[in-house]
Structure 1
């Protein structure tokens, strides 16, 4: 595997960092009394309004997926990622300069719009430039960057507590901007997806991109890769040239509904694992076991480290070594156990308890939960959905899956503050049940995709797949019966 692929993937994976910071920063922001006083008034309490600030971000994500499904196919994955970075920058600027709660909600919504686009198109792009044998690791770089972004957000929030006045939360919110700007600038230095170029019949550019990405693998591999991508897209040609809405409707056809349902289920279960609830409302959970103020913010910073540690474990020991299905069902069972322990500890040692050991144990198991989620899910929930769909449905299918994830996140954002206030530790039971159900589905019904090309994965679902390849990459343009001449002038990538 060449260094160029890793560099390209890391540039695009900055999108994961942007999402990690954007989603993580609100957890610490809600821990600042200056923010709550400014936005919520003298009482500093308004569960419904807090839920709105969190959920409008997820609403923006949901709408961003619809933009991406069209834009990534029409204007390319590359420039869609660039646009997402610009939109995220605008949203962050509105948040950091918010004069009232309405402006804050608008900023969160626009940032969510950009992150919804990022979550849809970044894993698709990385999957399309990755070799089959290393795709789990390379797409997993996005998960690593999400963890680093979340870790960074927690420590930015902690550092903000040492400022005075509104700077405590305005400066941390402004720290969403640098990553988004870097993402947009980086898009000028990466190639188009070779699959997108072939679909647009820009064959010369596609050939150059494949040479840059896979030049170390030899001409036979390059020839076979080009031929398989081209011929598979030709098989899908009729569907791929239909109107956007008609093509998107294919997601619900008998032929593709299983893939659609699987992708949506995986990302929805990523939310229903409890990870986002713990992330956004961790200061509330810490308060429930007796930790508040700067101590809670410090705990949030340490919590972020666990995600990075877990992601490193995934890249070293799990990615492309464990089957996808085993990773997901073992992970679901692990989270089920961790949440059960946290529920028992929270019930036994509520806020105000005289015991020190109990609350500390509860925090420790939340940390272990965070590490486990990063090992088993932080990357895998993006790897598998990005592999399932044929080219003409890939961005649309992943977009629908991210939309489903966002809808679940919106519901959880609205009900969590109220649930914590009214049922307390019993709220954990929801996530125990959902993780157990997810483990059952992954074990018995999820097909294994590890090590297969994106085109070969279609065979698992009964699609016709090109398996015979011929020709040398230097002669591809001469084989007119296999690969037509490009209709476009060659441009530099």
Structure 2
């Protein structure tokens, strides 16, 4: 589902070049068209949280694909700006569904040993979708101008059909099944998705405890107190959170906020304009350079999938955010030099292109995938769907703000100044991650709540948990899955 969403984003970055000329729209209308989808996502994310607790995670993905299918067709057949905005609205609802449910589903199905690897796959498909979008832009750019952008935007409908059919072959989330009292089905899914039978039994026991089901209950169907519409969840999340839930909420909202606030969305959506400011004037050359952005992003997200469960979330986040500070500042410097020079500065153009490619690469090994992995795995089961929807809401609001303000921002403070500003935000992000975010690698979802509760004192709690694990295993050697106290 995320693949369809990001094909749309990748396509829009190039299609907007032709939409602007064909529909004769202004720069402000361009900003709104590109960024408004992120605000429409809020509706989808809110509804998806409740829907996924009602009909299940799997069928919610089918709903998301169906909505996206309709939205893509509306955009493909748009005859004017208003019609196009209607298509963006419908597509945005589908995207909101997808961005919430894909990481929640993956986190709940995955065993702890591979959760980081598997839950980074939505981000892999995001990057693959961007790359496919960039490639299709170049391929369809040879069509008649008024036809090419419509084909670009409408083609996503085809993929959503295959996704909707394919998801029906996937198992339902075992955690959702247990919350519905369907223990027999949940046990079958856990047996298939765990590394060993012992792990499957342990996961079943932990989830039963979280759902309030007695340990000795072995019936296939049991009666549970269902909260399929989220009754009481918002009160526990917002109005009267425990210290642990408050810490979780700050971490989830913070990581989503900073993922977008550093401005990477501007690079992805407006890369043709950035390359134009760097001196690349040919449309073909701009689209080819944008394809290079997609290749860089896709390559490094694949690297990240293999590092998440080996190195951990926290080290990669710090490396990524620290690297973004340097890269964004250097990009701002190169664009400032180009903007203030009467002659073409080849070295500055080369540096600008290098920094654009580096920014998406460094983002993709840390802040890109880990945001979705981390924010879905830290919420307790009873709060996961609604808590994740809050994270998605913050993410999409910030994405909309960044994408709808970039052109106006760089006109006000220069394009170099815009990236200096983003570099400053990335610096704040680095210190936020260093201070507040515990390492979660190797912990089961049911154990996660014990890591949180002390905003700046979590390290001591993590060390205690590590010692208890070592004592339980009968040796003094730390398990490589719970190196929680290290940066």
TM class by shorter-chain length? 0.7 to 0.9
User: CA RMSD, aligned part only?
Assistant: 2.2
Q: Report Cα offsets for 1:50-97 as digits up to 9, x if no partner.
A: 121122201111111110110000110011111000001111111111
Paired residue secondary structure (1:389): coil
Q: Report Cα offsets for 1:394-415 as digits up to 9, x if no partner.
A: 1101101110111112222222
**Equivalent pair of 1:197/1:205 in contact (CA under 8 Å):** yes
Aligned with residue 351 of structure 2, among 338, 349, 361 = 361
Q: Which range is displaced more, 304-313 or 407-416?
A: 407-416
Matched ranges for 1:12-27 at <5 A = 15-27=1-13
Query: How has the CA–CA distance of structure 1 residues 462 and 346 changed in structure 2, closer, same or farther, with 3 Å as cutoff?
Result: closer
User: 2:318 — aligned with what?
Assistant: 329
In 2, the alpha carbon distance for the partners of 1:94 and 1:331 equals: 38
Matched ranges for 1:74-473 at <5 A = 74-214=54-194, 217-218=196-197, 220-234=198-212, 241=227, 244=230, 246-252=232-238, 253-255=240-242, 256-292=245-281, 293-316=283-306, 318-350=307-339, 353-424=343-414, 425-461=416-452
Paired residue secondary structure (1:421): helix
In 2, the alpha carbon distance for the partners of 1:145 and 1:415 equals: 26
User: 1:38 — aligned with what?
Assistant: 22
Query: How has the CA–CA distance of structure 1 residues 239 and 339 changed in structure 2, closer, same or farther, with 3 Å as cutoff?
Result: farther
In 2, the alpha carbon distance for the partners of 1:54 and 1:325 equals: 32
User: 1:485 — aligned with what?
Assistant: none
In 2, the alpha carbon distance for the partners of 1:149 and 1:163 equals: 21
Shift of the alpha carbon at 1:378? 2.1
Structure 1 residue ranges without an equivalent (≥5) = 1-14, 469-493
Query: How has the CA–CA distance of structure 1 residues 420 and 210 changed in structure 2, closer, same or farther, with 3 Å as cutoff?
Result: same
Q: How many residues align?
A: 443
Shift of the alpha carbon at 1:118? 0.6
TM-score by length of 1: 0.86
In 2, the alpha carbon distance for the partners of 1:352 and 1:160 equals: 35
In 2, the alpha carbon distance for the partners of 1:254 and 1:74 equals: 23
Q: Which range is displaced more, 192-201 or 180-189?
A: 180-189
Q: Report Cα offsets for 1:386-434 as digits up to 9, x if no partner.
A: 1111112111011011101111122222221111223222111221111
Query: How has the CA–CA distance of structure 1 residues 201 and 327 changed in structure 2, closer, same or farther, with 3 Å as cutoff?
Result: same
Paired residue secondary structure (1:31): helix
In 2, the alpha carbon distance for the partners of 1:419 and 1:154 equals: 25
Paired residue secondary structure (2:172): coil
**Equivalent pair of 2:251/2:436 in contact (CA under 8 Å):** no
Query: How has the CA–CA distance of structure 1 residues 352 and 149 changed in structure 2, closer, same or farther, with 3 Å as cutoff?
Result: farther
In 1, the alpha carbon distance for the partners of 2:296 and 2:228 equals: 46
Q: Report Cα offsets for 1:148-201 as digits up to 9, x if no partner.
A: 111110111111211123122111112211222122111211111001001100
In 1, the alpha carbon distance for the partners of 2:196 and 2:402 equals: 46
Shift of the alpha carbon at 1:462? 5.3
Q: Report Cα offsets for 1:119-156 as digits up to 9, x if no partner.
A: 11110100011110111001111111111111110111
Question: Structure 1 segments of 4 or more deviating over 6 A?
Answer: 235-240
User: 1:63 — aligned with what?
Assistant: 43
**Equivalent pair of 2:279/2:344 in contact (CA under 8 Å):** no
In 1, the alpha carbon distance for the partners of 2:53 and 2:314 equals: 29
Q: Report Cα offsets for 1:280-323 as digits up to 9, x if no partner.
A: 1111111111113121111111110001111121123x221112
In 1, the alpha carbon distance for the partners of 2:182 and 2:96 equals: 28
Query: How has the CA–CA distance of structure 1 residues 258 and 239 changed in structure 2, closer, same or farther, with 3 Å as cutoff?
Result: farther
Paired residue secondary structure (1:454): coil
TM-score by length of 2: 0.87
Q: Which range is displaced more, 331-340 or 204-213?
A: 204-213
Shift of the alpha carbon at 1:355? 2.4
Paired residue secondary structure (1:191): coil
Query: How has the CA–CA distance of structure 1 residues 352 and 177 changed in structure 2, closer, same or farther, with 3 Å as cutoff?
Result: farther
Q: Which range is displaced more, 295-304 or 454-463?
A: 454-463
In 1, the alpha carbon distance for the partners of 2:145 and 2:399 equals: 31
